Structure 1
């Protein structure tokens, strides 16, 4: 039952990923139809992410008060309705209105499902969960590119995705009683006092963490949060502005640019699929560090003025990012304690989407006043900052282990 139910959770994450890549793919055409400025996509992205931050911060309390299944169902209905609102929007004002429930619904699903999987399944399932987010994020530009090319309509693309979301809502409604039952089964299968989420030999910063009234005071938490901030800065900046960069600086058509962004998300998807198998043998920390090195190499390739290297670098960034986000999420209970994981999962989601809220719009503002050609430099800078923060946590963990703690 738990395996079958996991497939439903994977389907929920596919539907979560599809809307995340739509706006960036559609914007080169969408902005001219709506009479919007180049940088207005950053405003919409900020509003969506702002709603996500609010729902993520509340997710810890919501998970305790409301079943994860109900949260997921309600959130799916919110996102489906919001996407239909995008498709029918007569002006940018309506896009702003629809962006609010889109962000709230997406954030609630993200935090609730991440906590559920981290608490009930092993590390490879977390990687595969986010692999299926990548499937959705890859499908999004393909759907949008098809409707823009065949039907000359980004609105039909949003309508198609809205129908997919409503279909998932029906499936979630039918399987609502299974959430508690599967969690109970997983709990009985786990040995006492052994968290299901730990890899072989996980180091945990304990220092009486259960006694901390404020989880932000636990050592390593703040640097982990900054790693999430800059991770989402890289991922969402490439996703939102990559197509505009290819159109504006590389003179590609909007349809071709959307296809290349689909390949970027495809790199994330493939990387997470492979990582899911590798986690059975290799510790999350090694995979996170390896991903950062690959993403850094991709950022350097994108910076070089060679078209062939740029395309390869774009896919490399996607492959490198693949293990970082799910790896950091899955380490949360092992590093900081299961008793803190629900609250910290919400905080991590909130800070991650703060990166989505602030950093891509910041680049949009900068590009509108200077040149879109700054895109590779900004992506590389965010990648370096993410790596510094994550490595700081690793050093702290090593010191704690060396001193006999954990």
Structure 2
């Protein structure tokens, strides 16, 4: 039962990653079909991300009332219908309208499945879960590029991904009665862990303070902001940069973007093993330096093959940063405050994904998409700077688990 449900959840996370990379991959062709300004993609992305934030914030109450199985099913229906709407949209206004349920559905699936795995499975399964998101994000551009070759029929790409989502809807509907049974069967395995977490939560209430007043928290939040800014900007504008600046065919550009996501996926799979020998802080620093090097490689006036290497380097670099920063939270700020700070970090991460891509879109509209690698270098550099400032502060602390508070 446990293995069967993990397969379903992993499939759901692959489907969660599939739509995330479609808009940026298809936009160079979609822009021409709709005769839209370049920055319109940023507005669409902001609409999707805003829906994700709203549904994530509301997911706690919704999951408690309806259960993970029903929420996941309804959310997948929303994303499937939204993707179908993208494929059939006759105008830009329809794209905007379809972006709303796409964001709402995606956020609910993300929060619901993360919550379910955290509640009913052991911790190491969470790492592999996010690796499967990368599988979906990698497959999205591959699916889209296969349809854009020759005829530039991006609508068929969206239609194919929508069909995959509807297939998952059928699977979730058939297995819906089993979710509660699976939860009961897994309950005993995590009973001790849940009791420990409840004791920690009770202890945290005794020492309640505003987590934003804890020294170093704002530096960590800034690192999350710029991390997600780099990842989202690469996914949304990478293809447009390759088409308009490097003069690659749209289908080839889509394949190159898929290699960026492949870098994240493979990097996370490998880093999961490396964590047995190397601590989080070293992995975070190494990843940030690698991502910065990849961004610099794209900035330099070199042949396209170096740009491809830059895309892959940024993907490999980003791979360990996000999961390692999340895992490092209790070490940095103490277990009593980790849960609350984790929520802040997730909120700021979504904010970075929401504001950074549209910001680049507006910059590109007033200049050229050639600013893409410049923004990446500045964002990756800022991420490294804030992270190293946090490390420097933590090295000065006599005991990392003794939280200092700003007065």
Give 1:358 deviation, angstroms: 0.9
In structure 1, stretches of 5+ residues that fail to align are: 198-203
Task: Answer yes or no: is the 8 Å Cα contact 1:209–1:218 preserved in 2.
Answer: no
What aligned pairs does 1:310-349 form with structure 2 within 5 A after superposition? 310-332=307-329, 346-349=343-346
Which residue of the partner structure matches residue 294 of structure 1?
290
User: Of residues 263, 267, 270 in structure 1, which corresponds to 2:263?
Assistant: 267
Measured in 2, the distance between the counterparts of 1:369 and 1:107 equals 32
Match of 1:370 in 2: 367
Aligned residue number for residue 167 of structure 1: 167
Distance across 2 between alignment mates of 1:99 and 1:21: 14
8 A Cα contact 1:124 1:279, kept in partner: no
**Cα offset, 1:131, TM superposition:** 1.5
Corresponding residue pairs, total: 400
In the TM superposition, residue 42 of structure 1 has moved relative to its aligned partner by 0.7
1:225 and 2:225 are equivalent in the alignment: no
Superposition deviation, residue 209 in structure 1: 6.1
Contact 1:111 1:346 in 2 (8 A): no
Higher deviation after alignment, 332-341 or 234-243? 332-341
Shift in alpha-carbon separation, 1:344–1:94, aligned structure 2, 3 A: farther
In structure 2, relative to structure 1, the CA distance for the partners of 1:298 and 1:68 (3 Å cut) is same
Q: 1:325-355, CA deviations, whole angstroms, 9 ceiling, x for partnerless residues?
A: 2233344567667787776555433322221
Match of 2:44 in 1: 44
CA RMSD of aligned residues (A): 3.0
Is 2:24 aligned against 1:28?
no
Name 2:84's counterpart in structure 1.
Answer: 84
Distance 1:123 1:373, change over 3 A: farther
Distance 2:295 2:183 in 1: 41
User: In the superposition, relative to structure 1, how do residues 351 and 149 fare at CA in structure 2: closer, same or farther (>3 Å)?
Assistant: same
Give the match for residue 102 of structure 2: 102
Do 1:118 and 1:329's aligned partners in 2 also have CA atoms closer than 8 Å? no
Partners of 1:335 and 1:206 lie apart in 2 by 20
- Provide the TM-score with structure 2 as the length reference: 0.87
Residues 83-113 of structure 1 show CA distances to partners (whole Å, capped at 9, x for unaligned) of 1111111100000000001111111222232
For the Cα contact (< 8 Å) 2:18–2:161, is it kept in 1?
Answer: yes
Q: Which has the higher contact order (CA 8 A, sep 6+)?
A: 1
CA distance in 2, matches of 1:61, 1:69: 14
Provide the C-alpha distance between the structure 2 equivalents of 1:342 and 1:173, rounded to a whole number of angstroms. Answer: 32
Give how far 1:208 is off: 3.9
1:68 to 1:134, Cα distance in 2 relative to 1, 3 A: same
Q: Which whole-Å CA distance do the structure 2 matches of 1:343 and 1:71 have between them? A: 24
